[in-house]
Structures are given as structure tokens and as C-alpha cells.
Amino acid sequence: MDLLLAASSPTPSEGGGFDLIGTIMWPFKFLVEAILVGWHWLLTAVGLPTAAGLTWVLSIVGLVIVIRAAVFPLFVRQIKSQRKMMEIAPELRKVQEKYKGKRDQLSREAMSRETMALYRKHGTTPMSSCLPLLVQMPFLLGMFYTLSDVKKHAEAGVGGVGLLSAALTKEFYDAKLFGVAPLHTSLIDAINQKPEGWEVTVTILVILVILMIASQFFTQLQIISKNLSPEAKTGQAYQMQRIMLYVLPLGFIFSGLFFPLGVVIYWFVSNLWTMGQQFLVLREMPTPGSDAAKAREERLARKGKAINAEGKVVPMESYQAEQRRMLEEAERAKAEAPKRQQPMSKKRAKKKGES
């Protein structure tokens, strides 16, 4: 819904007054247009027709690849931050249970201090897992804005904010996938206006929306079924995730009705990228204790490898040696620990003293 509102907001070129969102998004839209035009130039340089719908579709695919690859390190950082938050969740619950029902000022301050101490100890905060996502959002919104604005810019006879000139914008506007489906046409427009070849346009959009919903559903299903620890599956957040798994597709159906074909293509390709990222997470960076983590350990064991205490993949011999060393250190520490003296009665102590 936020994206729908953003797409319908006035731009400075439309004389809608000062556009704060448009001003903030200007550098991101400029970058997106540069990448889109760059891909279009490259594809035409290798022989693809400049005005063909396929050329612009491949340019959109290239745009998604560049932007998502650029923010991939932030995605990895987000996963690691979320992992740390999940690791300290049991300790946080203990702190919350300790102060459960205590509403006085001193108790709240003590709970806050202990919580912050846990965050400092493990080097994470709730904000650290959200910050990478917030950094990514302007770039992803920049892609959405650029593609969704093509229709109104072309009809106004203007270009974008940068390299997407008025001529290229009109060319994009006129481009048709398979020579039939205009990239600027939405499903609802195709049904209402019934332009030439509208049946093919509707068919393409319906298929893409179904694939978009299916890819999103599959990605979320993989997360909650394979990449959550048993502890995480008992909380309220898990129940909310299960509900959202079935609620989110309704939003995509609504989006698929009103978004132009170019935006739907971008969204579908972006979902495919997300699926690939999720596959990488499940395979190489699963949540400890999850089914995906157990599957990774089994794969490593078949190759004669294991994960050491530092989280690194090492040969099985090194892992076993590390486990033996840790066991010996634990036994040594236990043996060196002072033995607890049993309490002695006065009568027994007196007898012992007389002897």
C-alpha cells in the first residue's frame, strides 16, 4: 500500500508544488535511470533493437541484478544481526521474566540496564538488524519510482530526472513485450480499455502475478519451515509470520491489478533474486538449531568436515580435536575448582577437634 501511495504522489515536473519525497528520492532515481539506460545502451550495442520490448525487459532485469548485487553485503549483515538477536533471545526472556509484573521505576530502569548490557556483550541491538534494510529501501524504491513514472512522464512529454531522456521515456512507453503487450499497461487498464492484443497482455500479466505470488509464498514458507530454531517456533512472532504467509499474497493480487507490466516484471525478477538469496542463507548461513542448520551439518559430515566453535568449516579431525580439548579443559576446570564444604554441626565439629 505504501508503494501505491508513493507511485501516485505528484512529481515536481507535474507542478504539484514542493515534493519532499521526490526531492529525497532524486539521487536514487538518478542512479537507477543511469543503470537502466546503461543496460539499454549495452543491449542495443550487441544488436538488439533499441525500441523492442525485449530490450527494455532485459534492461529491467539488468537493473534488478545490479541494485540487488550492490546491496547484497547489507543483506548479509542484516542476517548476521538477526542471528545474534535470536541467539540472545533466551537471555532476554530471562531478564523479562525476572521483572515480570514489576512496574515501579527502579525495576524498569534495572531491566533496561540489564537488557542493554546483554546487547553490549553480544555486540548487537534490535536496530542493527533493521538498519541494513532501511539503507536498502531507497534504492529499491528508486527502481519502483522510475518504472512506474514512465507512463505519466511519457504522456507529459518529459523525461526522468537524469539519463532517461524524453525520447528514451517515449521509447520505453511505446515498447511492447512480444510486440503485443505494452510495458506501461496495467492489468486493470488492459481489461477496461481493451487495446489491440489486450488478451495477450492480460494473459502475460496474470501469469506474472501468479508467479510473483508463488515466489513470495515459497520464500516465506522456506524461512518459517526450515530456518527457524525450535525456540523461535514457540513465540508470538512465529504465529504472526504464519498469518502473514497467507495475508501477503492478497496484497500482491491488489498490486498486480494496478501496477504496469514493467513494474510487475521488476517485482517478479526481484522476487527471484530474493529466492536465490534465501537458498544461499539456508545452505550456507542457516539459523543455529534449525532444520536447515542440521541439513548443512549432515552435508559437511558426508564431506568429512564440521563447524568449529568459531563457526568456521574445518576438517573433521580438527573439529574432533577441538572437542576433545574443550572437554579436557572443562574437566580440568572442574577438578581445580574448590570443593564445597559440607555444613558441620557443632557436636560433630567438637568431636573432630578432640580427635
Q: Which residue has the cell 521526490?
A: 22
Which of 39-43, 54-58, 265-269 is least confident?
Answer: 265-269
Which of 93-97, 156-160, 230-234 is least confident?
Answer: 230-234
pLDDT tens-digit series, residues 164-220: 999 999 999 999 988 889 998 888 988 988 888 889 999 999 999 899 888 888 888
Rounded CA gap, 196 and 66, in Å?
A: 34
Rounded CA gap, 131 and 114, in Å?
A: 23
**pLDDT exceeds cutoff 70 at 341:** no
pLDDT tens-digit series, residues 285-302: 787 777 888 888 888 888
Output the pLDDT for position 62. Answer: 94
- Gyration radius of the chain over CA positions: 29
Over residues 100-128, the mean pLDDT reads 79
Dihedral angle, C-alpha 189, 200, 219, 29, nearest 10 °: -50
pLDDT tens-digit series, residues 24-48: 888 889 999 999 999 999 999 999 9
Asked if residue 256 lies in contact with residue 211, where contact means CB atoms within 8 angstroms, the answer is no
**Residue 311: strand, helix, or coil:** coil
Over residues 262-291, the mean pLDDT reads 85
Number of residues written out for the chain? 355
Rounded CA gap, 127 and 337, in Å?
A: 41
**pLDDT exceeds cutoff 80 at 18:** no
Mean pLDDT, the chain, rounded, equals: 80
**pLDDT exceeds cutoff 90 at 144:** no
Rounded CA gap, 13 and 164, in Å?
A: 14
Question: With pLDDT > 70 as the criterion, what percentage of the chain qualifies?
Answer: 83
Output the pLDDT for position 13. Answer: 42
Instruction: Quickly count helices (H) and strands (E) in the chain.
Output: 16, 4
Output the pLDDT for position 327. Answer: 86
When pLDDT is cut at 50, 70 and 90, the band that residue 328 belongs to is confident
